[in-house]
Structure 1
Amino acid sequence: MDVYEDIDILFDADLINVIEEINPHRTYTVRERRDHFNFWNDQEFFNRFRLSKATVELLFNEIQEHLHHRTGRNLDRAIRPMDQLLLTLRFLATGDFYICTGDFLGVHKSTAAKIVQRVVTAICTLRRIYIFMPNTEEQRHEKIIKFHNLAQFPRVIGAIDCTHIKLQSPGGERAELFRCRKGFFSLNVQVICDASHKILDVVTRWPGSTHDAHIFQNSSVYMRFENGEMGNGILLGDSGYPSRRYLLTPIHNPEGQAENLYNESQIRTRNVVERTFGIWKRRFPVLSVGIRCRLNLAQRIVVACAILHNIACQQNEEVFEGDDEEDQPVVYNGVENNDGGVEERETIIDYFRNMLTAGGFII
């Protein structure tokens, strides 16, 4: 048989029809998309998206320019910017698979993944607006007063700690670096918060096996304290950190009433960061159940959730109560008094001792 006759056979119309019957092409359909913003009442909307309608509108106005389509093609089929935002908020509020998140809006899982990436990146552009350390004396004084009202610990402008955010295995030769001491893959995320549970600083670039103290000593906020940019303000941390002139930790074996009072006040004041973790992860469960995406997107999701949390705090949103995150720290075993930390701690202990002597009410 001539080679050209073989080609004719391959293009035989009857044969093509048989193939199409065996493996028919799926027709392109555009599924109906519910208007979730207007469909739900205020409480139902809040329960599903973790933010009120007013807050979502505020957020939408700040990022909508990043969500519009670049061309005017297929606008009748295009996903509206508000729908993109709501799909992403739904993803953050559930931590579900993309296929389930996509079904919520009637889009394919690949489309849902692209939308989440686009919206999360847009939210991250707001980082400098909503996440920042107190930069002026007036701002620092405001933080100090609010912390002092908790347990009368002086000069505190922030509480610092780290929390593990679960990840899927990032793969590659460095994957085991992300396995934390609890046995799962994670990012060890450093957070500094104020007395109102607002996040002042977040660091998301370290794998789960990294020690808390190492993260702090390689952060930009560490250099700001080293350079004296925070005035006489101090941070409170757990025993996983070294004691420094601007970072005070508990006394391992307190002796006497003044040292015990120092420890009690330090722990009660520092506890605000652990409660912040509980609120943060309850508000956006994707941080608790685990993030199933590429590493660089997971880091942006953590930052985006921090920004959204601060917006919710600013708007006095309802708090999703949850258990405070209690984690036994890995005690810092480095040089304890390498930066005047012990001397500074003694100064604060003397403050409590003087208050006791004067008969002042402490806690």
Structure 2
Amino acid sequence: MKYSSFWRLHDKLEEGIEQARLAHRGYEKKGGGEGGRYLPPPVRNGSIHTSVRLACAIRYFAGGSPYDLMGKYGISHTVVMESVWYVVEAVNNLQEMDIEYPESAEEQDKIALQFKQVSLAGIDICAGAIDGILIWIKKPAMKEAAGAECGQAKFLCGRKGKFGLNCQAVSDVRGQILDISIAYGGSSSDCLAFERSKLFDRCENGLMKNGNVIFGDNAYLNTQYMATPYTNVSGIELQNQR
């Protein structure tokens, strides 16, 4: 990320990060008068700037270790992880950063045209490609699983042997995410996870325009708005019969 890009992102998230910090600090205003007369809890090494919290979150999301960030910024492990969640909350509350598949036929046609330009077969109705990915997590505690109203095993992907969340994402030809949903644990199939998404409901209610469809692999079902591969395209079974 360029230095200028970081600060543009910070300007958008600064207020949300600070609001998240204040909401989660667990300190009540006390005393008389409007807002009370009080002193906030002391900060041993001074206040931590929102830019530091954003930098910690970005580096953590890129795979950085919280322990490296502790040494880099002179903060505790707790502060690093708190900063990550403050940034997550700030992003989730910023409407400008909502990711939702476009409703308009013009936008869908534009996406389809981009796919057509790289299609050797001249396919001109692909207005997005969908696939699932396992977002790895540590094994959730019993309490965390109970909070999600399911057992720990629901987060285990048997095929990959890892705990995680089933993420469904639609992208354009450049890989830019057009829609994203995380509603199920890693044990869920892509088809079921997609049918739990908001995008599925929108598609069922006529989201796709001008004959455009989303392309997916054979983990999904062939419908009026979803194109999946035909079976035996390579003709292997026919060859074996000969």
User: Structure 1-normalised TM-score?
Assistant: 0.53
The alpha-carbon deviation at position 198 of structure 1 amounts to: 0.9
CA distance in 2, matches of 1:184, 1:255: 32
Distance 2:139 2:48 in 1: 31
1:198 alignment partner, one of 170, 176, 180:
176
Once the two structures are superposed, what CA deviation does each residue of 1:301-338 show, in whole Å capped at 9, x if it has no partner? xxxxxxxxxxxxxxxxxxxxxxxxxxxxxxxxxxxxxx
Could you say which structure has the greater relative contact order, defined with CA pairs below 8 angstroms and 6 or more residues apart?
A: 1
1:212/1:128 CA distance change after superposition, 3 Å: farther
Q: 1:252-331 to 2 correspondence within 5 Å?
A: 252-254=231-233
Local SS of the residue matching 2:185: coil
2:26 corresponding residue in structure 1: none
| Distance apart, 1:205 and its partner CA | 2.1
Asked which structure has the greater CA Rg, the reply is 1
Matched with 1:64 is 14
Q: What does residue range 99-178 of structure 1 map to in structure 2 within 5 Å?
A: 99-126=67-94, 129-151=97-119, 152-172=122-142, 174-178=151-155
Bigger proportion of residues as strand: 2
CA 1:127–1:103 in structure 2 vs 1: closer, same or farther (change >3 Å)?
A: farther
Change (3 A) 1:88 1:130: same
In structure 2, what is the equivalent of residue 78 of structure 1? 47
For the 8 Å contact 1:237–1:248, the answer to whether it is kept is yes
Q: Indicate whether 1:214 and 2:192 are aligned.
A: yes
Letter paired with 1:217: E
Equivalent AA in structure 2 for residue 64 of structure 1: E
Instruction: Determine the C-alpha separation between the residues in 2 that align with 1:191 and 1:127.
Output: 19
What corresponds to 1:327 in structure 2? none
- Describe the superposition over 1:70-128 as per-residue Cα deviations: whole angstroms up to 9, x where unpaired: 599568810111111111112112242x3332222110111112111111211222365
| Partners of 2:181 and 2:68 in 1: CA distance | 30
Q: Please provide the CA RMSD for this pair.
A: 2.3
* Greater helix fraction, Structure 1 or Structure 2: 1
Q: CA deviation at 1:149?
A: 0.9
Within the candidate set 174, 182, 189, 2:160 is matched to 182
Residue 241 of structure 1 and its aligned partner are, at CA, apart by 0.9
Distance (Å, rounded) in 1 between the aligned partners of 2:39 and 2:90? 20
Query: CA contact under 8 A between 2:91 and 2:97: conserved in structure 1?
Result: no
Matched ranges for 1:36-51 at <5 A: 51=1
- Aligned partner of 2:238 in structure 1 is none
Q: Tell me the equivalent position of 1:46.
A: none
Partner of 2:29: none
- After superposition, what is the alpha-carbon deviation per residue over 1:179-212, rounded to whole angstroms, capped at 9, x for unaligned? 1021111111111111121101111121101011
* SS at structure 1 position matched to 2:162: coil
Equivalent residue pairs, number:
205
Q: Which amino acid aligns with 1:115?
A: S
The runs of 5 or more residues in structure 2 that have no matched partner are 23-37, 146-150, 236-242
Structure 1 contact 87–102 (Cα < 8 Å) conserved: no
Unmatched segments (≥5 aa) in structure 1: 1-50, 257-363
Contact 2:132–2:166 at 8 Å: present in 1 too? yes
Q: Which residue of 2 aligns with 1:87?
A: 56
- How far apart are the structure 1 equivalents of 2:68 and 2:97? 32
C-alpha distance 67-225 of structure 1, shift in aligned 2 (>3 A): closer
1:54 has 2:32 as partner:
no
Q: Residue 242 in 1 paired to residue 221 in 2? A: yes
Q: Secondary structure at the match of 2:166?
A: strand
Give the secondary structure class of the aligned counterpart of 2:184.
coil
1:192–1:128 Cα change, 3 Å: farther
| Inter-partner Cα distance in structure 2 for 1:54 and 1:128 | 19
Report the 3-state secondary structure (helix = DSSP H, G, I; strand = E; otherwise coil) of the residue aligned with 2:174.
coil
Question: In the alignment, what sits opposite 2:230?
Answer: 251
Cα deviation per residue 1:253-272 (whole Å; 9 max; x = unaligned)?
Answer: 1379xxxxxxxxxxxxxxxx
Give the structure-2-normalised TM-score: 0.77
Q: Which runs of 4+ in 1 moved over 6 A?
A: none
Q: What's the offset of the Cα at 1:230? A: 2.0
After superposition, give the CA deviation of every residue in 1:53-84 in whole Å (9 maximum; x if it has no partner). 12211111111112337599568810111111
Quote the Cα distance in structure 1 between the aligned partners of 2:234 and 2:6: 51
From the superposition, tell whether residues 228 and 72 of structure 1 become closer, same or farther in structure 2 (CA, over 3 Å).
farther
